[in-house]
Every structure is written in C-alpha cells, then in structure tokens.
Structure 1
Amino acid sequence: MHDSDREHEQSLLAAAALGSLDPSDLAALEQLLNTSPTARAELQQLRETVALLPYAAAPATPPAHVRARLMERIAADQAQRAPVARPASSRRAGWLAPAMVAVLAVVVLFLGGLTLSLQGQVATLAETNQQLLAAVSDLRQTMAASEAQQAQLAAQLTRSEQQIARLNEQIAHERLLVSFVSAPGVATRELRPAKANLAARGEMYMYPGESQAVVVFSGLPPLQPDRVYRFWLSDGVQRIAAGTFQVDAAGLATLVVNAPREVNAFTEVMVTVEPATDAAPGEVEVILTGTL
C-alpha cells in the first residue's frame, strides 16, 4: 500500500471517530471497514480514545458567565434562523448539514462540561462518605456517642450513598448522549414550533433500524410542577407516548427515546404540554412537530 493511500485511510478513520466524516466519504469508509479487519480495530480504538477525551481534564464547574454566553449565542442563532419552506427530499436528508454540525458541537461541549461537573460532585460526595464511615466506625468502637448521634450519621450516610447513585446514573446518561449524537452515520430530524410566537426547537438523532433515539431541546419555557412535556411518535395510524421531560431554567433538555420498534418506522413526532398526572385537570397543547 502506498503512503498516500495509508494516509487517506488514517484520515477517514480519524474523521469517523470524531463524528466529522464528510457524507461523500461514507462509501469509502464502509468499503474500507468491510475489507480490512485492521481498519475496524483501529476505528474502535480511536472511538474509545475520543470517548475518554472529555474526562482527561480535572473535574471543574464551568463559570456562570460561560454558561450565560453560550445561551446568548444559541438565542442569537435561533433569532437569525428564519422559517424557510424546504422540499420533501431535503427534509428527509439524513446527513448533517454544516449548521447542524455546529449545533451538534455545542451540544457535545455542553454535555461534556456537565459530565465533568457531575464527576466533581461524585468525588466530593465519595470523600464525604469515607469521612462519615470513619466517624461511624469510631463511634461504634468507643461507644462514646449516643444512639441518636449514630442514627443521625447513619441517615446522613444513606442519603449520601443515594445521591452518589443518582449522580452515577446521570453521568452514565450523559455519556450515552455524548457517544450517541457524536457517532458517525447518525441521522437528524428537526422539530419546529407549532406556534409562530414560540422560539423553540428540537433536534432528533437516530439510526435507521434502531429503536433508540436522542432528542435535544432548546428554547422551551419551564413549566409549572403540575405540567410536563410529553414526546409522541406516530405512524399515521397510532400515536405512541415515548417519554416525558422538564427543561432547566435556560429552556434546555435531553430525552432518550426507546420506541417499541425501529424509529424510522414512524412518520411523525410531536411534543405536547400536558398535566403531569391523569387526575390533574388541564388542556393538552401541541408545542413542537416534526416529520421522519
């Protein structure tokens, strides 16, 4: 193999691992992977390395002004995007356009920063947990503390362990989101506002033939505690509820969709605002819609 051919293969594998492969190069990548076990092994190693990059730095919480600046940039981008009617063939395009790649980069950076922050919280809680264990051990050995103090420390230890478990679950969730939306070959579909005065949107990332998808929302207003956002899938005959979610103060949220069959078997998606429980009164309002 010539050096130039080898360099081209390395470029293809690196771009695929980073999720920045040009659509025109997809056929070349698939041919390479089908004919070369070595290339498949190299791509797997590169993906594992890229997945570890967000955790190479020490855990740190992003400053408040950085988050504010990011939200301002997202809001400015949405303000500049005027609704433009697109032909059906364009709406069904599965590859990410340059603008979608930019949005994806912002999402990955945001999720990576959030994961680092959660790791820092887990480390702090783990240290506190060890201190509590040592304190409980000393109390049991010396019997100097009262039963009430031991019960209080034991309760605090239980709460700490539960919080660590929740944070570990959230870290696993954020890692799944990062790996899903940044993987090569992912298709995206856009959810647009059902009302002209709503500056909100959704980006749905999916793989043909897979039942799982990820949806990233921005610009949605926070709801009252008795209301929730609900995500729906429709095949033209049946409408299926595929999860509920709330947004943070900045109007951002992510949702992992687990459909009863492959996602591309459905033709439409939508987001509604509904009562949190069936017993609670309130109207159902359609907020976002999209086609698959």
Structure 2
Amino acid sequence: MIQSISHDEAQALLAIEALGALTGADRDALLAHVEVCAVCSAQLVQLRDTAAALAESLPAVPLNPDRSAAMRSRLLARAASDLTGRRGDDGGRLPNEPPVKAPTSPVKPLSGEPVRAIGRSPASRGGWLAAAAAVLLAAGILSVLRSTRRDAAVARNELTAVRAQQLRAATEVALRDSLIEQLTGATVRIVDLTGSGPNAPMGWVFWDQNEKWTLLVHDLPALAADRTYQLWLTTGGQRTLSAGTFGTDHRGHAVFRATLSLPRDSLVSASVTLEPAGGAARPSGPIALASK
C-alpha cells in the first residue's frame, strides 16, 4: 500500500530523489504525489537536470542504502527542527491551529491503488531549501572541478612548451660548442677558398684531421631551385671526393657540415662548383670557390 504524503513532505524529498538516493516506500509515495502535483513535478525536473550535470565529468557511483537513509534522516530532521521551533506547546500545533483528523477510509489515487494515510509530520520549507542547496552545491563543485581541469590542462601545455624551448636552447648550445670545437681545435686544419670578380665570395674549410668537415662561405649568390653548390675534396692520390651539396641564404652565407673520413694530412685542395640539384658524381659545373 502506497503511503500518502503532504506537499511539504514531498518538497523535502525532491532533492534526494533528484540525486537518486530515495528508495522504497518513500520514493513510491513521492512519485505518487508528483503525479498529481504540478509544482513538485516541475521542481523535480529542474533538480534532476541539475544533478544530471554531475554525470558529465564524474563517474556514477550507486549510493549505499545506509547513506541514502542517513541523508533522508538528516534532511527530515532539519525540517522537523525548523517546524518545532515555530510550533507551540499544545500538542505540537501552531496557535489556533485546529486538530487534524486522520481519514476514516482509504484514499484512492489516480492509479487505483489504495493509499495508506500516515501521521502528520509535515516538513518545513527550510528542509526543502537545505535539500535544494545540497544539489546546487554539488553542481557548483562540478563547475570548480571543470575549471580546475581546464587550468591544469593549460598549465601542462605551458610546461610542455617551456620544456621544448629549453631543449631547443640546449641543442643550440651543444651545436655551437661543437662548431667552436671544430673550428678552433688544436688539430684543425683550415683551407682558404676564394672566388673571382670584384665582389668575390670567400670561404673556409675546417677539417679536424679525422672525419669532421665544416665549410663557411660569404657572398656566394643564392641559386634557383634546380641548382646547388657542391663541395669537393682532392687527396694526394688525385682522388676528388664529394663532401655533399648545400645552398646559401639571401645574404649569400652558409654553414655546411659534413662527415667524410680521410687519412691525416691527405687533403691537397678543396673547391665548390655549381651543379644541378641533387649534385653530380664528379665536378662538371663552373667553379665558384677554390683553394690556392
């Protein structure tokens, strides 16, 4: 038999139902009341919408029956306390309030199932407000969590950017130190390269007498996409070896590094020629720079 509850009692239970914590006879009684009360029906829809926002970011965890009962007890106790504070001492009734008579026959709900009348223990408006505040507080906490997650994501992205910048800086420092070592080491041999004309380009080949080669050039004109510069190294046995191809920037400058193993002191001369894009198997184009 479904219990009959008052409008104030239903108001106190709406927030608990919206959180999915109401069970058993209390839930049946509330839903029976909601079916015939437009005010409670509309408020339950609003509270459910608010509580549903929690499911967007937080996992759904079934509420323990004991915790559900404890929650309901606290809310109803709060409501009863508020109501007691406003009542007189005459049988728990407000001044001039007539005694309440219990129905002498069962009340038939819309569903046709008999409803058992329960004793009068109306919840106050304060209990309803406390329950609604609990749901709104949960929604507020969710908003804070979302904001915190966004802030954490931004912080992670900024930290990643800083680390990438630090890595680039460390790499640049390492390359600079390596280049300085290749240009100034005690065993480094330097070969001067020169061009022709009034604004003759210049270049220098730095060889560490092992396998590291660094070429610096100035005022060497930039080329079209189908042309490239190629560095050639000639050894004592008159073997001419390609050290690779390179291009220059808009100022005609270039720093080209290559790895080519040659016996110590075997270099006789070096030159730079103008070749088709991709380079040539042997020197075939005009000489842009050559050693003396």
Q: More helix per residue: 1 or 2? A: 1
Both structures adopt the same fold (TM-score exceeding 0.5): no
TM-score, normalising length: structure 2: 0.38
TM-score, normalising length: structure 1: 0.38
Larger Rg: 2
